[in-house]
Amino acid sequence: MSSACQRAVGARCCSSVSRSSYGGRREVTQVRKVNRRHYLKGLLGGSFVGSFYGAPFAFASPPTATEISSEADELRVASSMFASALDAPDVREEERLWTEILDRYGCNSTPTGWRADACARAVGNRGNARSRQGKLEAALQDFEQSINLAPESNDPRVNRGATLEALGRFDEAASDYLFVLERDPNDPVAHNNLGNARLAMGEYEQARASYHKASTLAPQFSFAANNEAIASFQLGDDTFAFRSWRSLLRKYPGFDDARAALAAALWATGEAAKAEDELARVDDMRYRDKAWREKYRRWPPRLESAMDAMLELRFS
């Protein structure tokens, strides 16, 4: 699906989504004074991190030509290092390259100016790389460092929340998402992830409301729509759930998370033959693994018990 989904913490099939901390290449407003945005937009052609945390940095006094040249050269190096990390061939190499950036720019001390921004993003991205390897405690430390460096940014809080979910600390995860939503009520990722935390705590009505908000804000966010269907089925709104799953699968026939949920729901409602047909079309074999579903997917009881019953009968 999306690149955000590929970075989902704990391999939860994108149920909870983390975000890369390089910010994309959003347009940056040029300013007259020599500051980090001017360097990155003008000198680097927008190839570094796009937009930044915090207030603009400016020299205390007019910079000399040597200072400008030195900073420009170092920013070009930083740009190249970020690009290499983002294009790393595998997640272990990605983690190593982010660590190299952190070491180069003194990120474990007290970086200032644009280096503080670079450090916040680099350590957040290293946290994402670590979480994808299952190094959840180490990832959590990285996200906390990113928050300390950039307390006004939402992304490291979303990422910390997804990691806390993977660790089963749902109350704390929900607090991170609520913090983000107080600052940005229209963040669909935070709404979806808040729904996941609420679903895991058995707060099904609140979870459905969060998923609905996410899918309304981002109609192409298919995982939010699927999660809304899952919560709705748990609450007994079968008509809505089935309609949602069939609509999603018409658009995305290979969407295994939706198809597996549909198979379990069909079994729960007495449509055994149809349920087995749908399950046979699920390519991801992990949905047949109870331990994996309970640890990573965390369906609510109605779907989970139906999948258990179907698999027990099929393989008995």
**Which has the higher per-residue pLDDT, 52 or 298?**
298
Find the Cα–Cα–Cα–Cα dihedral 123, 128, 131, 133, rounded to 10°: -100
303-314 in b/e burial notation, b at 16+ Cβ within 10 A?
A: bbebbeebbeee
Q: Is the pLDDT of residue 291 over 60?
A: yes
Could you read off the pLDDT of 32-61 as tens digits, one per residue?
223 333 333 332 333 333 222 333 333 344
**What's 35's DSSP letter?**
B
pLDDT tens digits, one per residue of 137-191: 999 999 999 999 999 899 999 999 999 999 999 999 999 999 999 999 999 999 9
pLDDT at 16: 74
Triad 190, 216, 18: Cα angle to 5° = 25
**Encoded tokens for 68:** 């400008």
Domain membership flag for residue 193 = no
Q: Contact at 8 Å (CB) between 138 and 166?
A: no
CATH number where 118 lies: 1.25.40.10
By the 8 A CB rule, do 21 and 125 touch? yes
Amino acid letter at 233?
F
181 part of a folded domain: no
Span 69-103, pLDDT tens digits:
667 788 889 989 999 999 999 999 999 999 999 99
Length of the chain: 316
220 within domain boundaries: no
Count up the domains in the chain and report the number.
Answer: 1
- Asked whether residue 133 is domain-assigned, the answer is yes
Range of the domain at 91: 9-167
